Every structure is written in structure tokens, then in C-alpha cells.
Amino acid sequence: MDIRLAVSDLLQEAILKAFPALDKEDLPGPETLEIPPDSKLGDFAFPCFRLAKPLRMAPPRIAQMIVEHTDRPEVATAEQVSGYVNFFFNRVNFARNTLKDVLDKGPRYGSEPENGKTVVLDYSSINIAKRFHIGHLSTTVLGNSLRRIYTHLGWKAIGINHLGDWGTQFGTMIAAFKRWGDWESVEKGGIDALTALYVRFHEEEQKNPEMADEGRAWFKRIEDGDPEALAIFNRFKDLTLRYAKGVYELLGITFDSYNGEAFYNDKMGRVIDELKAKNLLIQSEGAWVVDLEDYKMPPCLILKSDGATLYATRDLAAALWRKDNYHFDKSLYVVAYQQNLHFKQVFKVLELMGYDWAKTQMEHVAYGMVSYEGRAMSTREGHVVYLDDLLKRAQEKALVIMQEKSPDLEDMETAARSVGIGAVVFATLLNNRIKDIDFWWDRALNFDGDTGPYVQYTHARCRSVLKKAGEVTDAPDYTALENDEAQAVLRQISLFPEAIRKAQEDNEPSSVTRATIEVAKAFNKYYYEHRIIEGEPSKTAARLEMVRAASEVIRLGLDLIGVEAPEAM
């Protein structure tokens, strides 16, 4: 039950009865309803100040007249407080309707039917022959969560891992491999073996600068489609993807496409030809650029003086290819905020090329930086935290905590995996994505407060209560849920679909994370202050329905951000 819509309809009816001459365009929508800071002031409040101008009337008088014409007590009653109308739900009907909605829909609660729209999400975008580090965490889990949220709301969501698989560094890797490598040691050592070869080459290059020519020569062979160069490079790519998919499997993440920069190598001619045909490409200091001075941006580099393409060229080619092949209604780039200018330039160039959809359908979903226990990541300083190491350590730490808290728990290692990895993901998606994150173990793995383990434990608590209660056949008496604590749980549950929609509208998964925390907090307050399996069976049945609904919504919230909900902890 979308209680905000129900109260909004009630408000609009009352306004039209009280002020029949009011232009319908001036009717307030659901978004105008506020949630009072104290539940004693009502469940929703409408500020009448916004009607003062069209009605030419003082807000307190408007509020009084709205209250006098509110006559659907089965939904809510209304009271005037100064210039506000405060609405109080019919608690029994609110409980009945909210629980029916959740329990009928289950994991589809708050979902919407397929809308025929497609969203393309570009996220994670790992580099070939390099390990994930903690800096990849945000893009990876943000993109995964947004993909789940869009899918829940009826979109066809396509996940793309735009691999970093183009550039001179890959020629350098082949040169290093040809000098010192062999397939047996590389297959055995994996990504670390490739990294060691790359580092060794650069160390040797410091002594013999002419070695750089070897790297450039091998990359030229890749560009020219040389069979040997491509065979070696493709094995590097396969090895990287095997490693990457192991990390993605831990996080519950899949992709529809791994088309990276190399895929667009033969598709950039279209971009260059169109830019030339539309007189957008000009020469500047030997390079070819699109002048963006009129838009208060530096020029967008398309071709270097030697004719080599750049990131912008490939991103332009990718955007056009994706539009042609996926026919997207929205295209999201989940990339750190340092790339703000790059994407502004790319979107503006597409617009200047005549593709109006670039203005409304493309968006850079920027996020802040990640540091680890107070220290920023720095490859040069040797302070790098690798993501697979972080996830492994998270599981180990969670296992130690759970051995202390729940020594008799069955299948503890599986639960520790869910809790440890869930803690990392939850901490990453807790706050507004643009905020920088400083990851600390003692915060992330805390079983109290705004953490993944706290929410997961609340879900396990709900499931434990339901298991203990067994099957209940009595018809529920919803008067058992008229108390303030039960109503607080129901309110958070009823507002959850709104949080999902807001997360999609703002591309902000933290809306779901925060809403899930609020359900968990409200439920735990109720749990500590009320007996659930006690007294009249019909009242117990109503309370158990609420427990079941709370567990469903918490499970859904965790799933939408890519976190598992253990049955026991």
C-alpha cells in the first residue's frame, strides 16, 4: 500500500471540496507531504503556505477548511496545527493494507511492471593484467546496485565492463613476457606474475631507455592485428577475466558485456569522419580537437599529432555503438568524480554532432574516493589494498567475530562469507555516493549501528522468531498493531517503495541502504518493547505477519544493494 498516495488523494479530495474554484494545476502532489519530526504530530503533514497565493487566504484558515472537508476516516483523520494539516492514519486499516501489500508481492514489493525502457550501465571497467584494488570497489558495487534497482523498477538493465585493454602498456607487457616470461609461470602466478614482469621491465628501462621502443613496437603489432601479438595479448586478457570473475562471484556480480577499448578500435573512423563532415574537428598544436571554448571547457582531444586516438575518441565510438545496438533510453557511466570534465566534454561533442539524446539520456554517475583506515591509496608509496585481499580478510574477521558471538551456528563459514563481504558492500553504499569513503574494519563489521552486520542480524532475528512460532492458522487481529512501535515499523515498510524510486531517480543506492536501516531500527525497537508470541492467537498472528513483512523488506533492501540476507547468525 502506497500510503503517501492514499493520503495525497485524500488531501486533494478535501481541497477540491473546500475550494472548488481552485485550478487543478495548483493541487499539491504526493511529494508535498512532509513527515513530521515527531510522530505525535501525525504521520504526514501538509504545509498550507503553498496554497496561500492561489487562494489568497491565510494558511491557518486554509488548514482549517481542509480539515473540515476531510471525511475518509478509514484512511486517515486530519487535525489543524497553525498553517499545517496533520494526518493520522487509521492504524488498523494501515496495518492490514500494508502487510497485505508486502506479503502478496514478496520480493517484488515496490517493483514496477516492465516499461519497455533500457538502461546501459558502464561500471567496474577493470584494466587487463592488473589486480583490483580498493579504488575499484565503489564503481563495482554502485553499478551492480543500480542495475538491480533499475531492473526492479521495470527497466531492461544492461551491465557493461568497459575493459581497459588498449594502450602502449600492453605492448610493454608483451615485450617483458618475451624477454623473461613463459606460460607455465604466468598461468601459475596469474595477475601477480604479469605485474612482476611489467615492473621488472620498467626497472630495466630506467637503465636502458631504448627498451621503451620494444613496448611501442609490440603495441603497433597489436594495432596492426599481428597474430603473435594478438595471441599473447588475448591470453593475458583471458587470465585477467578468470581472476576478475572470481572476485565478481564473491560479490554476486555479473555483466552482459566485456567489450572494452579494443572492441572500438575499428569503430572510431565513423566518429572522425562525422566530426570532419560537420566541421567540428580543428587542428591545434598538431593534434585534432573539438573546440569547446564557447561552453567554458578546454578542447576535447580526438587525435594526437601522430594520429593516435584517445579516451574521448573511444568513448564517443562506444556511445554511438551502444545507442545503435542497445537503443538505450538512459546510459550511465559509474566513474569517479575526477572524470567529470572528460564526460562533460564527451556528452557535449555528441550533442554538437547532432545527437540530441546525449543531453537527456547520458549521465556520469560520479562518486568519491576510497581510503583505507585513514590513508589514501598510492601505488608509488606502496600503499595499495587489493580488493580480493580485502574481501578475504573481511570473511576471516567476520568468522572470528561469529565464533565468539554464535559458537553453535551451523555452516558458520557460509554465514561469515555473507557477513564479511556484506559489511564491505554495505559500508560502501551507506552514504551519498559523492562523499569520500574511509574504510575502517571496526566500523564496517560492528553488529550495532548503521552497518551491514546489524541489518543482516535483524533479518536473522526475524527469521528466528518465525521459526520459533511455527505455523499459525488464526485470522490476524490487527488491533495488536495499533501501538506506536508497531506503527513505526509499518510506516518504514510502507515508505520503502518510495526509497527505491528515489534511488533510481537520483542514481543513489544509499537511499535504499538508509531505508533498510530504518526498517531494521524500527523492528528492533518493537522487538525489545513487545512480546510477539504471546496472548490471543489472533493477535500473535498479526504480530507474526509484521515480522514476516519486516524480514521480506530487509531481505529485499539488502538484495537491491548486492548483499546477502543470512537466515541465521
Give yes or no: residues 146 and 223 share one domain.
yes
Give yes or no: residues 26 and 173 share one domain.
no
The domain boundary, picked from 321, 347, 365, lies at: 365
Has residue 21 been placed in a domain? Answer: yes
Q: What is the number of domains present in the chain?
A: 2
Closest among 254, 241, 269 to 164, alpha carbons compared = 241
Has residue 555 been placed in a domain? Answer: no
Count CA atoms within 13 Å of residue 502 on its CB side: 13
Quick check: helix, strand or coil at residue 49? helix
Q: How far apart are CA 483 and CA 486, in angstroms?
A: 6
Give yes or no: residues 150 and 227 share one domain.
yes
Give yes or no: residues 329 and 180 share one domain.
yes
Give yes or no: residues 169 and 52 share one domain.
no
Has residue 384 been placed in a domain? Answer: no
- Lowest-confidence range among 9-18, 88-97, 147-156, 182-191? 182-191
- Lowest-confidence range among 142-151, 296-305, 476-485? 296-305
Is the separation of the CB atoms in 68 and 18 below 8 Å? yes
Has residue 348 been placed in a domain? Answer: yes
Give yes or no: residues 273 and 336 share one domain.
yes
The domain boundary, picked from 326, 349, 365, lies at: 365
By residue range, what is the domain housing residue 206?
A: 135-278+309-365
Q: What is the pLDDT of residues 239-288, one digit of tens each?
A: 999 999 999 999 999 999 999 988 998 899 999 999 999 999 999 888 89
Has residue 456 been placed in a domain? Answer: no
Give yes or no: residues 85 and 186 share one domain.
no
Give yes or no: residues 166 and 225 share one domain.
yes
pLDDT at 389: 85
Q: What is the pLDDT of residues 15-47, one digit of tens each?
A: 999 999 999 899 999 999 999 988 888 999 999
The domain boundary, picked from 365, 384, 408, lies at: 365
CATH number for position 156 = 3.40.50.620
Has residue 439 been placed in a domain? Answer: no
pLDDT (average), residues 480-508: 96
Has residue 375 been placed in a domain? Answer: no
Give yes or no: residues 51 and 185 share one domain.
no
Query: Does pLDDT of 337 surpass 90?
Result: yes
Give yes or no: residues 62 and 154 share one domain.
no
Has residue 54 been placed in a domain? Answer: yes
Band of pLDDT at residue 440, cut at 50, 70 and 90 = confident
Instruction: Please provide residue 275's backbone torsions phi and psi, each rounded to the nearest 5 degrees.
Output: -60, -40
Quick check: helix, strand or coil at residue 254? coil
CATH number for position 37 = 3.30.1360.70
Give yes or no: residues 337 and 244 share one domain.
yes
Amino acid at 143: G
Band of pLDDT at residue 378, cut at 50, 70 and 90 = low
Cα 288 → chain centroid: 37
pLDDT at 458: 97
Q: Which residues of 347-376 are buried (b: 16+ CB within 10 A; e: fewer)?
A: bbbbbbbebeebeebbebbbbeebbbeeee
Band of pLDDT at residue 442, cut at 50, 70 and 90 = confident
Query: Does pLDDT of 540 surpass 80?
Result: yes
Residues 6+ apart with CB under 8 A from 75: 6, 7, 10, 89, 90, 93
Closest among 205, 244, 26 to 126, alpha carbons compared = 244
Q: What is the pLDDT of residues 291-301, one digit of tens each?
A: 999 999 999 99
pTM across the whole model? 0.91
Residues 6+ apart with CB under 8 A from 369: 135, 336, 376, 436, 437
Give yes or no: residues 196 and 73 share one domain.
no
Amino acid at 335: V
pLDDT (average), residues 5-11: 93
Residues with a catalytic annotation lie at: 130, 133, 136
C-alpha distances in Å from residue 525, one per residue of 268, 520, 537: 59, 9, 22
